[in-house]
């Protein structure tokens, strides 16, 4: 009975983060097909065109995601508790009917069974509606999360001169190897959290 709600609670912690790359409009930069870097002969500084963000670290340290995930988990637990209470009350009614069925008339038994059948349908409807509502809210929150991160990275990439920001996750390792100098996760997390603090004020 609690399977749908439990699955949603688990899914809340494993929200899908980013499956796309964020490109910056930079008409003066040459297009590259692979992660590359350019160096100037004069000062020997290296400017990377591609960088990446570890989405596992980002999600565990981004304040907005932590608060969002907490809200979803609380709602899931509340829905699960409500469903459990309703299910327990229904089971008590069924047990009471079974104990007293022998003392009832045929008409009373029929009416009681019809009432219990309606309650069972209502309980199933409640379960389905609660699950659907949580799934819809999770989808909406996931979209907001994606938009916040993507919008921030567009500005970040433009400011730094990056042509592309990739995402990496152990669960979905689309990047098999990248030099650590391309990892901008810490800097991005810091910027996102600072921007979120300003949004909350």
pLDDT value of position 21: 32
Number of domains the chain contains: 1
**Rounded-to-integer distance, Cα 188 and Cα 149, Å:** 9
Residue 161 has pLDDT above 70, yes or no: yes
pLDDT value of position 176: 82
**pTM, to two decimals:** 0.68
pLDDT value of position 178: 85
- Which of 3, 111, 18, 2 minimizes the C-alpha distance to 65? 18
Q: For residue 20, what are the domain limits?
A: 3-200
pLDDT value of position 35: 41
Residue 12 has pLDDT above 70, yes or no: no
């Amino acid at each position: 009975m609690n399977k749908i709600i439990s699955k949603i609670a688990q899914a809340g912690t494993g929200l899908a983060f980013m499956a796309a790359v964020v490109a910056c409009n930079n008409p003066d930069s040459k297009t590259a097909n692979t992660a590359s870097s350019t160096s100037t002969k004069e000062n020997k500084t290296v400017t990377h065109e591609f960088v990446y963000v570890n989405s596992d670290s980002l999600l565990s340290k981004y304040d907005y995601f932590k608060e969002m995930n907490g809200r979803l988990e609380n709602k899931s637990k509340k829905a699960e508790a409500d469903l459990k209470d309703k299910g327990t009350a229904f089971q008590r009614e069924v047990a009471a009917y079974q104990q007293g069925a022998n003392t009832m008339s045929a008409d009373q038994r029929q009416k009681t069974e019809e009432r219990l059948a309606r309650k069972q349908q209502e309980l199933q409807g409640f379960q389905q509606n609660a699950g659907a509502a949580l799934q819809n809210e999770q989808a909406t929150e996931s979209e907001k999360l994606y938009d916040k991160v993507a919008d921030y990275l567009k500005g970040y990439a433009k400011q730094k001169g990056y042509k592309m920001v990739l995402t990496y996750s152990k669960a979905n390792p689309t990047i098999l190897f990248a030099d650590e100098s391309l990892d901008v996760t810490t800097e991005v997390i810091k910027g996102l959290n600072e921007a979120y603090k300003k949004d909350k004020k």
